[in-house]
């Protein structure tokens, strides 16, 4: 309620995440000597690079009190557009531009229905999830398109700077830019204001609709970039490319402490959550835990991250004042 | 005298460092309207919430029909026949009227008998002389009808004590009259009514007994016949009134705003007025009379359908708040919490929000030092009581929040400032400060429109007063010709009006 | 006219329009596809509807009270697999016992969801996003990389999808279709005539007021998730019967189809309105389009999902338009003398709450 406890809780949150991270790292070290090797550390980012790039924009979307379920489908669609255009004999540049354009357009369609028609983003982007995936399948049907130029595949697979791949560099540049945008720019400030209350924003002369529109276009565009990256990393594209990624991406953001109701959360938290998830998955892989079980553990972590603070708070009020129990 | 149906003894309740209720004892009698008075924060709402089981008292006891009772939740309260009608009706918009009445009943069998429910609902409504279609969904009902449904709900639960929290706050005069009739008929049926209102006329027209709370303490309780409004007010504020700030005259500049035949379908019609630089135009009228809607039309939130607006000599067509802000029009809303301020954000971030582009570098980054300077200057100028401008707005008192909201809009250097209920819900000291600020702003040459339900405030602070009723402009009074009676008569429209010096 | 609008609920209008759209779609495809009006077409659509309709019924109950259950696909997969496993190990188990077992399993998982949401105060979307992953993980671990195969299942189960309840001219009503219909009808009656059902609408309509009115919000929440889980259990059982071969990825992604069906069926994603009949019609419409597009030669079958996405958008857009218009009709018909902004205000309040949720 008062300022101190709010800050306390924020501190608690990020401290909590940091502690979990340290614990995960320690367990991983004990699991395998290979864990700390440079190759493994790079790999751990490399294998999930598309998801964590999109998580950066998803953070802004959820802070803005919306959600974008269609990101993975846009990734798939952009990858398919890229492959389709390339396969049709156009240049690499044309193929990439077409993919980016389609991604931005898909985002713009989401944004239009959310911001200007006023429909709930949960439903609009659910429709997007299904429809964009459908369009991707219309393009490549049940084929697999590959045979991209070597330079393009190398961009997705080979180290570019030291041991780092292009995608990893892109992620860290993106993270730096997004932190500045969210914490230090007028756009970031407005994102929080609109997320807290769209009415307050509009009564303050903020063009909340345009802001939402821009965010969804950005989300589509970044998803398209991620889609092209995955095409390069895997060297081939199918209709099902990136299917189901949205849940992982949203989990990263929510675990990072971004409120599902909007208005609060930081990229520091999301960054920590990404580190936790990637390292946990890596550690579990080293311990031969199956991919699905890994997802289960992360799902459990997601629920506990909200449940435990709630329970603690409940216990605290119970202890402090038995009479006020039962009220929230 | 009969025995009280409900008594509270030495009820205390504490929230953090505030003593919301301090050892309050009261008796409520059947067939009596017990008016509860007090300023905001005096403890009335807390008392209601304790009686209805939403809060639990820290100490003290509640006796119902001579037996001590424990009210743990609203279901317990219902069981004892205690029900409350809250300021904003607790309506289920998707359910129809009949269902809204019976939804919390637990003794209507295991299966919903719709036909019987409609019949029962109709019976209750007709007993109360309320004409509503029991099958229509609550979604489209007016606030007054929603309140009627709530009263019907309470009656259907065989209520013995009915608590009404500012039931007329959002009602038109006609609707209020209907409500009073209902209250009187309930009293006749032996219901004990706890009536909370800020409107003295109502309190003394309806109340059989008047109790005053201040700072969580019971100050006085007496039969209404033995209390005068003046005495009640001085009990409420803790001192004699009379030292309010009044309007200081200043020079007028050019005509800043001319509004002609402004109309918004179904909301307001043919509104005509002008405001000069340095002038305060008061907007009086009951809640729902269209005053706020005119303000919102000028600010571009809900643009008008027809009519014209000339601002600073030029005809403008205001379609969005961004455009209004660009022109130099500021609207300070009545709803600080819901519309005015971003509660979880700092004072500084709130103040710079409407003019954020002024605080950005070419790359779009925030110049936080400039922001801080601006916020600091307003903190000093408007005397915002806070250790620093990083304080989260939600933690400030109502008065300080109001000042932050004023700062936010003064920062755009407005040419026209629309103030909607500028002193609602703030304490007496802060109120005087806000009035002082209004005087200063007018002297600086800002044209001001002040919408207010506080009649003494409108009379004291306005150069001229525009009165609205049910979407129509009833006239404009010059400051001297306006009196409490003449403005109220125009606003309520009870008598045939002779609209004095309508300008 | 006013009287007409006042007595019509958006649900009814929606259901009517859905029936119309389904009829139009059938007429259209009938003119396009050879031999479309064949009992086989009906049977194919009906059996693909059965599983989805049962699960959508559970989801509808959840959505009406302003919640969501994203874990339904995992629960269906979980119950399909483990019911299958138990039937493989004890083939002598009776059909009724098997279906009750599936319901208990699903109900148990649903109760876990409900408890975390109601008593742990964790938002429904976070809880069920988590349990979506958890239930699937438990399934994968429990399965030990073994699939259920048709040949190991009792014959009555394998024959179940083709079992006819009764024949209606040339059209045969399959037992599974009948089962789905019975489920939908039972719960439609429950939400219309049981106080419990009306409370769902009240809570979804205004959770704060429900709390203030002393309605048992938490208990109702748990019960609804339990029922949704149990219906997923039936869905799992039907899934097992229909496909026979169950791997650990069974019914993965079904939650999206189910939410789509519910939304197309006119259930307000913000709670308070919608019906089970509507959700059933939504399911039927989607299944009709899917099965028909598969046979329509003019466009590639891959257009199916793109069309479905468009359909969802269309459905919510018309919903919001219908709702807006009905609101203003109600508003006007109940306003007597004054152009009071109260309706306007009430509408804003509703929207604010929607946003807040």
pLDDT value of position C164: 82
CATH number of C249's domain? 1.10.3470
Token code pair at residue C207? 């959770």
**Highest-scoring range by mean pLDDT, A110-119, A317-326, B181-190:** A110-119
Range of the domain at A14: 2-321
Hey, which chains touch B, using 3+ CB pairs under 8 Å? A, C
**Lowest mean pLDDT, pick from A116-120, B486-490, C306-310:** B486-490
Average pLDDT per block of 10 residues along chain B, 503 residues long:
86 81 93 86 84 89 90 83 83 92 84 92 87 85 83 87 84 77 89 85 88 89 87 71 70 93 92 95 84 94 94 94 96 91 95 95 94 95 90 87 95 96 79 91 95 84 91 88 79 48 34
How many angstroms separate the CA atoms of B375 and B350, rounded?
9
pLDDT value of position B256: 95
> Among C15, C102, C114, which Cα is nearest to C61's?
C114
For residue C344, what pLDDT band results from cuts at 50, 70 and 90?
A: very low
* pLDDT at C328 > cutoff 60: no
* Closest residue in A to C348 (Cα–Cα): A199
Mutation target to probe the B interface, by most B beta carbons within 10 A, among C195, C267, C332 is C195
A14-18 mean pLDDT: 86
A195 and A76 Cβ atoms separated by less than 8 Å: no
C254 and C55 Cβ atoms separated by less than 8 Å: yes
The answer to whether residue C80 is domain-embedded is yes
> Among C81, C64, C56, which Cα is nearest to C228's?
C56
Mean pLDDT score of chain A, rounded to an integer?
A: 90
Strand B18-28 versus strand A164-165 pairing type: unpaired
pLDDT value of position B286: 74
pLDDT value of position B466: 95
Higher local confidence (pLDDT), C326 or A200: A200
Q: What values do phi and psi take at B364, rounded to 5?
A: 85, 10
Give chain A positions within 8 Å (CB) of B363.
185
Give chain B positions within 8 Å (CB) of A3.
391-392, 395
Q: Which of residues 338-377 of B touch C (CB under 8 A)?
A: 338
Mind telling me how many Å the CA of C320 is from chain A's nearest CA? 8
How many domains is chain C partitioned into structurally?
Answer: 1
Please enumerate, as own/partner, the contacts of B120-125 that have beta carbons within 8 Å and a separation of 24 or more: B120/B156, B121/B97, B121/B152, B121/B156, B122/B98, B124/B152, B124/B155, B124/B156, B125/B97, B125/B152
Give chain A positions within 8 Å (CB) of B386.
none
CB nearest to A200's CB, from B56, B339, B395: B339
pLDDT value of position C15: 86
Alpha-carbon distances of B217 from B11, B197, B235, C100, rounded to whole Å: 10, 18, 11, 61
Cβ distance B75 to C193 less than 8 Å, yes or no, reads no
Q: Which of residues 121-150 of B touch C (CB under 8 A)?
A: 132-133, 135-137, 139-146
How many angstroms separate the CA atoms of C339 and B268, rounded?
7
CATH number of A90's domain? 1.10.3470
How many angstroms separate the CA atoms of C342 and B138, rounded?
12
pLDDT value of position C335: 38
**Cβ atoms within 10 Å of A227's Cβ, excluding its own:** 33
**Lowest mean pLDDT, pick from A168-177, C120-129, C316-325:** C316-325
pLDDT value of position A6: 52
pLDDT value of position B154: 86
Q: Which residue has the tokens 């059989």?
A: B208
Residue A203 forms contact with B (CB below 8 Å): yes
Per-residue pLDDT tens digits for A196-248: 999 999 999 999 999 999 999 999 999 999 999 999 999 999 999 998 899 88
Token code pair at residue B455? 């009649």
Mutation target to probe the C interface, by most C beta carbons within 10 A, among B51, B85, B92 is B92
* Closest residue in C to A69 (Cα–Cα): C256
> Among B233, B223, B278, which Cα is nearest to B255's?
B278
Mind telling me how many Å the CA of C97 is from chain A's nearest CA? 30
C125-153 mean pLDDT: 91
CB pairs under 8 A between A and B: 87
Give chain C positions within 8 Å (CB) of B267.
339, 341, 344
The answer to whether residue C4 is domain-embedded is no
* pLDDT at C355 > cutoff 70: no
A299-311 mean pLDDT: 87
Q: Which helix (H) or strand (E) holds A310?
A: helix A291-320
A308-328 mean pLDDT: 63
Higher local confidence (pLDDT), B266 or C5: B266
The answer to whether residue A75 is domain-embedded is yes
The answer to whether residue A326 is domain-embedded is no
Token code pair at residue B117? 């429910």
Mind telling me how many Å the CA of A101 is from chain B's nearest CA? 24
The answer to whether residue A328 is domain-embedded is no
**Lowest mean pLDDT, pick from A126-140, B133-147, B339-353, C267-281:** B133-147
Cβ distance B111 to C199 less than 8 Å, yes or no, reads no
Cβ distance C140 to A135 less than 8 Å, yes or no, reads no
Residue B503 forms contact with C (CB below 8 Å): no
A206 and A194 Cβ atoms separated by less than 8 Å: yes
The stretches of C160-272 forming alpha helices (DSSP H) are 175-193, 195-205, 207-212, 217-243, 254-264
> Among B86, B81, B50, B89, which Cα is nearest to B196's?
B86
How many angstroms separate the CA atoms of C213 and B86, rounded?
11
How many domains is chain A partitioned into structurally?
Answer: 1
Output the DSSP codes for B327-365.
HTEEEE-S-IIIII--TTSBHHHHHHGGGGGGGB-TTSB
B369 and A217 Cβ atoms separated by less than 8 Å: no
* pLDDT at A249 > cutoff 80: yes
Paired with B165 in beta bridges are: B196
Per-residue pLDDT tens digits for C230-262: 999 999 999 999 998 999 889 988 998 999 999
CB nearest to B354's CB, from A192, A197, A204: A204
Range of the domain at C55: 10-356
What's the whole-model pTM score? Answer: 0.87
pLDDT value of position C356: 37
Cβ distance A260 to C125 less than 8 Å, yes or no, reads yes
Mind telling me how many Å the CA of B215 is from chain A's nearest CA? 21
Q: How many percent of chain C have pLDDT more than 90?
A: 52
Q: How many percent of chain C have pLDDT more than 70?
A: 87
**3-state percent helix, strand, coil for chain A, nearest multiple of 5:** 75, 5, 20
pLDDT value of position C349: 34
Hey, which chains touch C, using 3+ CB pairs under 8 Å? A, B
Higher local confidence (pLDDT), A312 or B367: B367
* pLDDT at A60 > cutoff 70: yes
Token code pair at residue B296? 């919102």
CB nearest to C342's CB, from B73, B86, B143: B143
pLDDT value of position C6: 53
Mind telling me how many Å the CA of B301 is from chain A's nearest CA? 7
How many angstroms separate the CA atoms of A116 and C356, rounded?
18
Output the DSSP codes for A209-242.
HHHHHHHHHHHHHHHHHHHHHHHHHHS-EETTTT
Cβ distance C137 to A293 less than 8 Å, yes or no, reads yes
Cβ distance A193 to B342 less than 8 Å, yes or no, reads yes
A276-297 mean pLDDT: 89
Give chain C positions within 8 Å (CB) of B117.
none
Cβ distance C212 to B266 less than 8 Å, yes or no, reads no
> Among C295, C311, C305, which Cα is nearest to A135's?
C305
């Amino acid at each position: 309620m008062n300022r101190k406890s709010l800050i306390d809780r924020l501190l608690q949150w990020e401290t909590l995440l940091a502690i979990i991270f340290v614990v995960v790292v320690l367990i991983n070290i004990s699991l395998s000597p290979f864990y700390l090797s440079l190759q493994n550390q790079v790999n751990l980012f490399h294998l999930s690079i598309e998801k964590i790039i999109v998580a950066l924009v998803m953070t802004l979307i959820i802070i803005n009190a919306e959600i974008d379920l269609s990101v993975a489908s846009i990734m798939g669609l952009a990858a398919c557009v890229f492959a389709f255009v390339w396969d049709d004999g156009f240049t690499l540049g044309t193929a990439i531009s077409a993919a980016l354009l389609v991604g931005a357009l898909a985002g713009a369609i989401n944004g239009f229905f959310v911001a200007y028609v006023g429909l709930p983003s949960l439903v609009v982007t659910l429709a997007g999830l299904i429809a964009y995936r459908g369009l991707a399948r219309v393009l490549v049907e049940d084929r697999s398109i590959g045979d991209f130029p070597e330079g393009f595949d190398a961009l997705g697979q080979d180290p570019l700077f030291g041991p780092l791949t292009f995608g990893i560099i892109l992620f860290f540049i993106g993270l730096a830019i997004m932190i500045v945008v969210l914490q230090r720019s007028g756009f970031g400030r407005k994102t929080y204001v609109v997320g807290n209350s769209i009415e307050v924003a509009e009564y303050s002369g903020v063009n909340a609709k345009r802001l939402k529109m821009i965010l969804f276009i950005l989300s589509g565009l970044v998803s398209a970039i991620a889609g092209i990256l995955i095409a390069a990393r895997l060297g081939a594209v199918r209709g099902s490319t990136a299917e189901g990624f949205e849940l992982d991406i949203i989990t990263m953001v929510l675990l990072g402490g971004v409120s599902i109701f909007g208005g609060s959360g930081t990229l520091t938290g999301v960054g920590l959550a990404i580190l936790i998830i990637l390292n946990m998955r890596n550690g579990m892989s080293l311990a031969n835990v199956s991919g699905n079980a890994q997802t289960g553990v992360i799902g459990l972590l997601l629920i506990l991250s909200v449940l435990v603070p709630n329970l603690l708070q409940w216990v605290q009020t119970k202890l402090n004042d038995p009479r006020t129990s039962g009220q929230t | 005298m009969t025995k009280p149906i409900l008594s509270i003894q030495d009820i205390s309740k504490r929230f953090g460092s505030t003593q919301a209720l301090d050892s309050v004892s009261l008796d409520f009698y059947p067939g009596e309207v017990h008016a509860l008075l007090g300023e905001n924060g005096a403890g009335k709402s807390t008392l209601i919430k304790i009686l209805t089981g939403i809060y639990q008292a820290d100490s003290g006891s509640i006796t119902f029909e001579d037996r001590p009772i424990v009210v743990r939740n609203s279901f317990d309260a219902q069981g004892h026949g205690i029900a409350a009608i809250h300021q904003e009706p607790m309506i289920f918009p998707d359910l129809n009227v009949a269902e809204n009445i019976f939804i919390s009943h637990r003794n209507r069998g295991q299966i919903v008998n719709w036909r019987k429910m409609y019949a029962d609902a109709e019976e209750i409504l007709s007993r109360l002389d309320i004409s509503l279609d029991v099958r229509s969904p609550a979604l489209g009902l007016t606030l007054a009808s929603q309140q009627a449904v709530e009263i019907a709900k309470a009656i259907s639960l065989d209520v013995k004590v009915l608590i009404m929290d500012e039931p007329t706050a959002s009602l038109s005069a006609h609707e209020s009259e209907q409500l009073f009739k209902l209250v009187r008929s309930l009293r006749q049926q032996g219901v004990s009514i706890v009536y909370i209102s800020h409107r003295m006329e109502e309190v003394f027209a309806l109340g059989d007994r008047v109790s005053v709370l201040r700072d969580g303490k019971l100050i006085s309780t007496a039969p209404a016949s033995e209390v005068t409004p003046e005495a009640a007010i001085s009990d409420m504020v803790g001192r004699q009134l009379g030292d309010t700030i009044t309007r200081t005259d200043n020079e007028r500049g050019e005509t800043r705003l001319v509004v002609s035949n402004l109309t918004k379908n179904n909301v307001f019609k043919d509104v005509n007025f002008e405001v000069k630089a340095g002038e305060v135009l008061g907007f009086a009228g009951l809640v729902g009379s269209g005053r706020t809607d005119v303000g919102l039309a000028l600010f571009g939130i809900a643009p008008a359908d027809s009519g014209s607006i000339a601002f600073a000599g030029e005809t403008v067509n205001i379609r969005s708040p961004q455009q209004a802000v660009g022109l130099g029009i500021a609207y300070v809303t009545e709803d600080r919490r819901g519309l005015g301020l971003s509660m979880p954000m700092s004072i500084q971030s709130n103040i710079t929000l409407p003019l954020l582009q002024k605080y950005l570098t070419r790359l779009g980054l925030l110049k936080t030092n400039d922001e801080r300077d601006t916020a600091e200057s307003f903190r000093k100028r408007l005397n915002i009581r806070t250790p620093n401008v990083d304080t989260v707005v939600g933690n400030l008192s109502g008065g300080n929040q109001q000042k932050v909201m004023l700062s936010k809009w003064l920062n755009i250097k407005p040419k026209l400032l629309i103030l909607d209920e500028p002193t609602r819900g703030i304490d007496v000291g802060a109120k005087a400060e806000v009035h002082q600020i209004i005087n200063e702003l007018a002297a600086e040459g800002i044209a001001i429109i002040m919408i207010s339900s506080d009649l003494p405030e409108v009379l004291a602070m306005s150069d001229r007063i525009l009165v609205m009723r049910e979407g129509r402009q009833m006239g404009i009074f010059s400051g001297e010709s306006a009196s409490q009676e003449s403005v109220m008569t125009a606003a309520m429209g009870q008598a045939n009006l002779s609209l004095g010096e309508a300008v | 006219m006013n009287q007409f609008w006042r007595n019509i609920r958006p649900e009814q209008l929606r259901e009517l329009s859905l029936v119309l759209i389904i009829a139009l779609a059938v007429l259209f495809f009938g003119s396009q596809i050879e031999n479309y009006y064949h009992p086989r077409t009906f049977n194919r659509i009906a059996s693909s509807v059965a599983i989805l309709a049962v699960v959508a019924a559970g989801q509808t109950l959840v959505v009406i009270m302003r919640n969501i259950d994203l874990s339904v696909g995992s629960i269906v997969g979980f119950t399909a697999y483990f019911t299958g496993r138990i039937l493989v190990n004890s083939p002598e188990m009776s059909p009724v016992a098997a279906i009750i077992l599936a319901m208990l399993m699903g109900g148990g998982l649903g109760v876990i969801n409900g408890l975390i949401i109601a008593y742990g105060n964790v938002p429904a979307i976070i809880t069920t996003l988590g349990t979506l992953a958890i239930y699937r993980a438990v399934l994968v671990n429990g399965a030990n990389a073994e699939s259920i195969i048709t040949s190991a299942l009792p014959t009555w189960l394998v024959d179940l999808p083709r079992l006819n309840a009764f024949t209606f001219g040339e059209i045969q009503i399959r037992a599974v279709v009948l089962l789905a219909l019975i489920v939908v009808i039972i719960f439609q009656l429950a939400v219309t005539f049981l106080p419990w059902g009306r409370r769902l609408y009240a809570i979804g309509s205004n959770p704060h007021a429900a709390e203030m009115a002393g309605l048992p919000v938490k208990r109702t929440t748990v019960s609804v998730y339990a029922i949704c889980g149990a219906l997923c259990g039936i869905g799992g059982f039907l899934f097992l019967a229909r496909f026979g071969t169950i791997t650990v990825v069974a019914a993965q992604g079904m939650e999206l189809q189910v939410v789509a069906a519910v939304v197309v069926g006119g259930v307000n994603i913000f709670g308070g309105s919608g019906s089970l009949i509507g959700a059933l019609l939504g399911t039927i419409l989607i299944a009709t389009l899917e099965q028909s597009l598969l046979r329509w030669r003019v466009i590639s079958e891959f257009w199916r999902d793109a069309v479905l996405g468009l359909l969802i958008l269309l459905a919510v857009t018309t919903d919001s338009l219908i709702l807006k218009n009905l609101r203003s009709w109600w508003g006007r018909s109940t306003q007597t003398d004054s152009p009071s902004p109260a309706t306007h205000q009430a509408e804003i309040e509703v929207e604010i709450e929607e946003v807040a949720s």
